Structure 1
Amino acid sequence: MSYPHLVLQREEPTPERRPRRRGPSHQPADPAAHGRTLQSYLGQAVTQADTDIGGFDARRLFKFEVQKGFDPDELRKVSPDVEIVSQEEEQVVVAFVSAAALQVFEARLATLAQGGLPVHFNVLYALNSFNGWLPEDRTGWALRRDGFPATDTFVLDAELWPIEDNPQQRQQLTDTFRQWLDDNNFTYIDRVVQPGIIMYRVRCNRHQAENLLLHHRDVRTVDLPPRYHLETQILQADVQTLTPPVSPAEEAPRIAILDSGITANHPLIGPAVGGTHSFIAGHDANDNHGHGTQVAGIALYGDIANAIANNSFVPSFWVCSGRVLDGNAQADAGFIENQIITAVRTLHNEYQCRIFNVSIGDTNKPYIGGHIRSFSRTLDTLSRELDILFVVSTGNMAWDQLEGLSWMNDYPEYLTRDEWAIIDPAPALNALTVGSLARYDQNHRMLRYPDDPAEVPIARHSQPSPFTRRGPSVGNAIKPELVAFGGNWSLNTRDDHISSQRLGEVTTNRTFATDGLFKDACGTSFATPHVTHLAGQILCEVPDASQNLLRALLVTHARLPAGSDEMFPDKNKLRNVLGYGAVDQAALMRSIDNEVTMIARGTLADKRHHFYEIPIPEDFVSQGKRNRELTVTLAHTTPVRSTRVAYKATRLEFRVVAAPDIDHVSTMFNRATTADDYERIAELGNASLGPSMRSKGTVQSDTWTFKQFNSQSKLRTDRLFVVVTRNDFPWGTSITSTDEAYALTVCMRDRTNHQARLYTQIQARLQARVRIRS
């Protein structure tokens, strides 16, 4: 059963506060202690490496954790008998180490530990730890997520360490490994052997997998074969087999697609078209390219593959089209900003469109720091002026950005490089920016030739798409905020060919009369309308929702895809690629018994606080070990000025604190009249991001996760408050409002106990407060 989201009432008073500053961090160093620590790590690593089996020679395999920016070849200065095998991440180097090299390491660490200065001490300083390459390191992403199949035998893909520069060693490795498979009764299916990749597809049982394959020295990773695929019959669905859609109610919301136009007579789009215009000279409103029609279909229906499977095409809102691109999906010779301004004002005034999908980007304008470009600034200005939501794509990388094998071997680390920076207008702070996830990881060739390991998906299901771009935006604001399914690529390791066929999102086809109603397409352009669709659904449920509230609700219900946090151990890199994650729709539009959202909307003067008490229901803090979460999100729309380094004029942020009552909280913040005092205010512990990281953008969110509560837990001994603070830059006084609007959402969820009565208990507490105030 579902319920309307609840309203969270504000507490009084609103005391002043002063600006805060951040102090420098300090990191002490003790070389001798560092040496002793490394000695301990090395001993453990030797023990771990000695548990490996197999191997084409007698060397041990070590994993070196190194400082950021360390050149792996520097390790060879310690001993030429160290062979660098791979750099798995920016700070993880894997190497074969001979017995002689190990003795040199031990001797130099002993010198360092005793206070001496060994030869090449700077290399030892750059080492953080030693480890063996453990079974958990060899366990691939899909295998970690799904576990071994329940069948007696199953197929696995084993990737061996690539030996690119030594063909003789590579031949020795493959011959030895093939013989090892036969000796241990694995069923060999096929293999790929190239200088940059060695893959074996084998059939085995669980004992062979767990106790042999995952312990083999020469095995880099073991994973499940691809299994998510696009059913061909989905794309072949015929109009006669589908129930024709019925037009939305006349008063339903209208969303706008700013693109190459739409094919308004498409059988599934036509009944929901609310208006079409062209804002590009010499072109009518029709889509001569196809991009706009593909975007519009997803924006209107969301998951079209699911809609086909369930024969359920029910548009909840109208879609309006503003054509701003020509037949090549390019802007004309003029500035696209002018067309965007005209299109937005026209569609807003004539059709009351309040949500605009912008799957457009300028690849010549990546955001690599400095000032925001004009397209982004245009969206930021219109967002604030008209209270409208722009949903914007991060932009894509082209196939020729990397060589074939590099797409696979360097994934996902290359997603964090400077070249993958988001492009204009994705940096816009007042817009929602969307990156892409892979839905499918099996293409038509993998289905047709299941025993051939040559065709390899670059990303697996729910991992970042290989072409998606990364943030952050100006001032290190989190971008993209959200991700959604947008497609995948595969690599044929025999011919180095990249393909997207049957790996994209299903959507509506411009040439439906000759080529079918549907096609699949890859790109962040097709991830973006998934979020636009959800924003439109919220507007159907909450018609007066501001763009601040739309952003807050969407981000509040976003979660990092399972396992993705393991792909980027560095929190900044993780958020730069995935933002706050993908939207979980379970309780997005309406609350449910075990997942409750509270909404607050207000306006706040500069140097002031607003206080909100979060009611803690009994079922949330009840006994038992299970997954419970508290998510708080704040959204505001800032005025901007590109001639200032800070760009945004307003600064709103929040803190979550525990205290005996509202008087203690107001006193706590009122006394924080210096930067140091404010820093010492202790926020509720265990936040996923923390104030510094989340506060850079105009939509800010954080999640607190609780496994169990004891009698001393803050949520049992104290009351919980959210404090919203405004502290503007002095230069922005002339362009800010006396009272700046914001939206605040608080969500409590019990992910384990679906019978938890959170909604009724929170509702009762909120109603009791209203009666007391009355």
Structure 2
Amino acid sequence: MEETFPHLNIQREAPVNEKRPGGNPRTAPPDDVPSHGRGLLGKLANATREASEDIGGFDERKLFRFTVQKGFNPDDLRKISTEIEVVSQEDETVIIGFATNAAMAQFEARLASMASGGYVTNKEVIYALQSVDGWSPEDRKSWALKQHGFPDDEDFLLDVEIWPLEDRPDARQQAWDKFDSWLSEQRIEKLDQVKKPELTLYRLRCTAAQAESLLHHRDIRSIDLLPSFALERSIVFQDIQQFPEVQAPPAQAPGVVVLDSGIADGHPLLKAAVANTASFLPGEGPHDENGHGTHVAGLALYGDFEKHLRAGAFTPTLRLYSGRILDRSNENTTGFVENHIEEAVRHFVTEHGCKVFNLSFGDSNKPYFGGHLKGLSVTLDTLSRELGVLFVVSSGNHRIGEGSPDGLEWRDQYPEYLLNESWRVIEPAPALNALTVGSLVRHTQTYNSQRYPLDPAEIPIAQAGQPSPFTRNGHSVDGAIKPELVAHGGNWAIHARANYALLDGLTGLGVVSTGLQFADGRPFQVDAGTSMAAPQVAHLAATILHEHPDATANFIRAQLCLNAAIPQASQHLFEKNKALSRVCGYGEVDETALKRSSENAVTLITESRIENKRHHFYEIPVPPDFTSGGKKRLREIAVALAYAPPVRSTRIKYRATRIDFKLVAARDLEHVTTMFNKATKKDDYQSIKELAGATIGQTARSKGTVQADSWKFFQFNSNSALRNKKLFVVVTRNDFPWGESLCDSEESYSLLVSLRDKQNLSAQLYTQIKARLDARVPVRIRV
């Protein structure tokens, strides 16, 4: 067995240099300035009439939708009038604001002066304005509501979000009180609510007439149908008595928490590892009445459950926790799942010190098409930062028949349809501080194909190692890579003799795990979906804590992505890497070097804190043996960084700060620090060339809060940068102006670097790198 070693710590170099940002770009004047003013005057008049049709409101101001040029700073609207309050940035060009009549009269006067060719102060702000409108009833409709309309029932449930007033607690409380009173006056029943500075949601029971009133209420941001969860499942019959009795894991074993429909804690393969179960669903106990939670729990506890099943032995190394948040239909209609999840997470963190949480469900009524994130994503991102926990969530499954192929098209159009808009990730998969997991295929033979090997009728859609036919694609906010990882979740097939009918995971193409009906002699269950992929990654995340018990959630995220790679079978499915990352992210986790290093695969680790507009520099010791040898062989350098920024749902950029890295070659530390100090503007910084050959590239990876990339080398010539220069990772922080007050003076991050020479069995990378690190003279780092 190959000898392994602890990962090595790396220290940053002494210089900590300021990153001086450039000023905002100036807005070019329109070709015809008076005509621009006249156009805005007309739109302002229409917008004022439209805003006057709104009902309700906690004060007398009107709500306006300002359409601006891309890159416009929303706070600059206050240059028009200090009585305009920016409420939210809905996308890159739409800003919502409250304005008094006096403010709009002042604005109208400026536009009239511009239209007549007169002088206007702060004219660049008006140059950047493209339109002024009201926030219409259509704007308040969610994607699901636009697709399906209101339910046909006499009364029905809706989820309503009102505008968050994040910076004004007094006004926020006033808005809550006034809206509660209005609901009572309208006889609209309030069933539950989420009231936070960054998110205010109401679950309401109303009639069609009352719903129409809601669409016209000024303080309402959006109206949505209730969450919709879709699952498929099957049971595998097998005698569990053949397996040895499962022993409990050590008392100090790390824990993994499954937030789902509960678990069957008496299952023979689970009960020895169950540490605590609790229900956070009002009126329900912790026991699983659906089966989904039990199936997910087996994967979270054992990871590759099928491997253990084939080996005939199950030895849990983790402690299993279960928080029930879903009912027997795998739904949550008693209240907001956001509240139940928060209660569960705080319980398991406070009472049991848990750090890794699995959420294998998604709201198919909320695909992410861009713009601001909603309820559960915001909740997970906020809890991730506050409590230092890691959420592993599924990317979501596409439903059959909703914009999906028909018959033979499933196979013939694969994988192109995976990139369709209707295949976008669903809530809470876009959450930036969580790890999102998509699905890969493992099996290609149905039960019938195995039984009748000469019959070609049942045709798999995808091959092993390729994305599952149902897995959803990204990206998330601002183009962040989602999902970040993929794991086995199942396959589908078509039946050539039955009009190409679709055969899902129930036919033997899914993932096997523990089943709810164990007492009836059915201890195993097969299901297909990204719900099965996520807990396998949650298992890996928790096992990192064996070797690194104090690891932060940032470290775990970075470590998983550092050791991920796109499966060979998927690498050439799409013409562009960008398309591949939308479906597979950084790839599938390779467990080989996840917890410890070896002589030919070395991981360098550090945890640090960085101030705004600063660079941190790390020299990476590359031994001569890494670049030696004339024979071609694969060598690789990988880098991963993770941080958990504060978020704001009223800004399109969402994360308050940006921390990213670049891998650069330079003569020495002085040269690399000078290079970055001269990058005074954004374009200058972007123009600093990384080491050539990055798999993802700095622009694409830097959009997320966990970033990973790799550089592959097969041969080094005498001019190679790694032979003639030193290698540095440079970490940079740059807050958005609106986010500076939300961030800590020093923001935490985890950085990991891996050097791999796996085809060289006689490599001594670990020994050589450790000797170089030990020989370095300790330096005092200025902070």
Task: Check whether TM > 0.5.
Answer: yes
Contact 1:317 1:540 in 2 (8 A): no
**Long gaps (5+) in structure 1:** 24-231
**Are residue 412 (structure 1) and residue 412 (structure 2) matched?**
no
Question: What residue identity is the alignment partner of 2:673?
Answer: S
Distance in 1, Cα, partners of 2:483 & 2:24 = 25
**Counterpart mapping for 1:300-339 below 5 A:** 300-339=301-340
Contact 1:18 1:675 in 2 (8 A): no
Q: CA deviation at 1:682?
A: 2.0
**Are residue 630 (structure 1) and residue 637 (structure 2) matched?**
yes
Question: What residue identity is the alignment partner of 1:307?
Answer: H
Deviations 1:415-458 (A, max 9, x none): 00000010000000000000000100001111122222221001
**Are residue 713 (structure 1) and residue 720 (structure 2) matched?**
yes
Match of 2:20 in 1: 18
Q: CA deviation at 1:691?
A: 1.1
Deviations 1:461-487 (A, max 9, x none): 011001100000010000000000011
Match of 1:443 in 2: 446
Contact 1:20 1:678 in 2 (8 A): no
Q: CA deviation at 1:754?
A: 2.6
Distance in 1, Cα, partners of 2:670 & 2:728 = 11
Match of 2:511 in 1: 505
**Counterpart mapping for 1:353-364 below 5 A:** 353-364=354-365
Deviations 1:383-422 (A, max 9, x none): 0000000000001112223322221121111100000010
| Structure 1 counterpart SS, 2:609 | strand
C-alpha spacing 1:276/1:770, structure 2 compared with 1 (3 Å): farther
Contact 2:14 2:780 in 1 (8 A): no
Contact 2:357 2:390 in 1 (8 A): yes
Match of 1:585 in 2: 591
Contact 1:503 1:522 in 2 (8 A): yes
**Are residue 257 (structure 1) and residue 258 (structure 2) matched?**
yes
Distance in 2, Cα, partners of 1:705 & 1:440 = 30
Runs of 4+ in 1 over 6 A off after TM superposition: 20-23, 771-774
Q: CA deviation at 1:573?
A: 1.3
Contact 2:237 2:521 in 1 (8 A): no
**Are residue 427 (structure 1) and residue 433 (structure 2) matched?**
no
Deviations 1:25-60 (A, max 9, x none): xxxxxxxxxxxxxxxxxxxxxxxxxxxxxxxxxxxx
**Are residue 647 (structure 1) and residue 654 (structure 2) matched?**
yes
Q: CA deviation at 1:20?
A: 6.3
Q: CA deviation at 1:589?
A: 1.0
**Counterpart mapping for 1:171-190 below 5 A:** none
C-alpha spacing 1:19/1:771, structure 2 compared with 1 (3 Å): closer
Question: What residue identity is the alignment partner of 1:536?
Answer: A
Match of 1:157 in 2: none
Match of 2:200 in 1: none
Q: CA deviation at 1:770?
A: 5.0
2:566 to 554, 560, 576: 560
**Are residue 551 (structure 1) and residue 554 (structure 2) matched?**
no
Q: CA deviation at 1:751?
A: 3.1
Distance in 2, Cα, partners of 1:563 & 1:252 = 35
2:602 to 596, 601, 604: 596
1:613 to 603, 610, 619: 619
C-alpha spacing 1:317/1:760, structure 2 compared with 1 (3 Å): same
**Counterpart mapping for 1:621-770 below 5 A:** 621-623=627-629, 624-769=631-776
Match of 1:298 in 2: 299
Match of 2:8 in 1: 6
Contact 1:237 1:308 in 2 (8 A): no
Distance in 2, Cα, partners of 1:387 & 1:395 = 24
Distance in 2, Cα, partners of 1:292 & 1:504 = 16
| Structure 1 counterpart SS, 2:624 | coil
**Are residue 484 (structure 1) and residue 487 (structure 2) matched?**
yes
Q: CA deviation at 1:516?
A: 2.2
**Counterpart mapping for 1:264-283 below 5 A:** 264-283=265-284
C-alpha spacing 1:676/1:323, structure 2 compared with 1 (3 Å): closer
Contact 2:239 2:521 in 1 (8 A): no
Contact 1:371 1:647 in 2 (8 A): yes
Q: CA deviation at 1:308?
A: 1.7
Q: CA deviation at 1:347?
A: 1.1
Q: Sequence identity of aligned pairs in percent?
A: 52
Q: CA deviation at 1:239?
A: 2.8
| Structure 2 counterpart SS, 1:299 | helix
Q: Aligned-residue CA RMSD in angstroms? A: 1.9
| Structure 2 counterpart SS, 1:760 | helix
Q: CA deviation at 1:697?
A: 0.3
Match of 2:121 in 1: none
| Structure 1 counterpart SS, 2:321 | strand
Contact 2:640 2:707 in 1 (8 A): yes
Q: CA deviation at 1:237?
A: 4.4
1:523 to 508, 529, 544: 529
Question: What residue identity is the alignment partner of 1:352?
Answer: G
Contact 2:464 2:569 in 1 (8 A): no
Contact 1:21 1:675 in 2 (8 A): no
Distance in 2, Cα, partners of 1:513 & 1:333 = 29
Deviations 1:259-303 (A, max 9, x none): 000000001100001100101112100000000000010010011
Contact 1:262 1:287 in 2 (8 A): yes
Distance in 2, Cα, partners of 1:502 & 1:22 = 57
| Paired positions, count | 566
Distance in 1, Cα, partners of 2:526 & 2:652 = 42
Match of 1:347 in 2: 348
**Are residue 570 (structure 1) and residue 571 (structure 2) matched?**
no
| Structure 1 counterpart SS, 2:431 | coil
Distance in 2, Cα, partners of 1:564 & 1:423 = 23
Contact 2:318 2:542 in 1 (8 A): yes
Distance in 2, Cα, partners of 1:278 & 1:553 = 32
Deviations 1:210-267 (A, max 9, x none): xxxxxxxxxxxxxxxxxxxxxx9x9554332212221112122221100000000001
Q: CA deviation at 1:21?
A: 9.3
Distance in 2, Cα, partners of 1:730 & 1:677 = 19
Question: What residue identity is the alignment partner of 1:709?
Answer: F
Contact 1:280 1:332 in 2 (8 A): no
Distance in 2, Cα, partners of 1:252 & 1:431 = 23
**Counterpart mapping for 1:229-244 below 5 A:** 236-244=237-245
**Counterpart mapping for 1:91-130 below 5 A:** none
Contact 2:259 2:325 in 1 (8 A): yes
| Structure 2 counterpart SS, 1:642 | coil
Distance in 1, Cα, partners of 2:22 & 2:299 = 44
Distance in 1, Cα, partners of 2:369 & 2:22 = 27
Distance in 2, Cα, partners of 1:678 & 1:362 = 39
Match of 1:381 in 2: 382
Question: What residue identity is the alignment partner of 1:5?
Answer: H
C-alpha spacing 1:20/1:538, structure 2 compared with 1 (3 Å): farther
| Structure 2 counterpart SS, 1:620 | helix
Question: What residue identity is the alignment partner of 1:6?
Answer: L
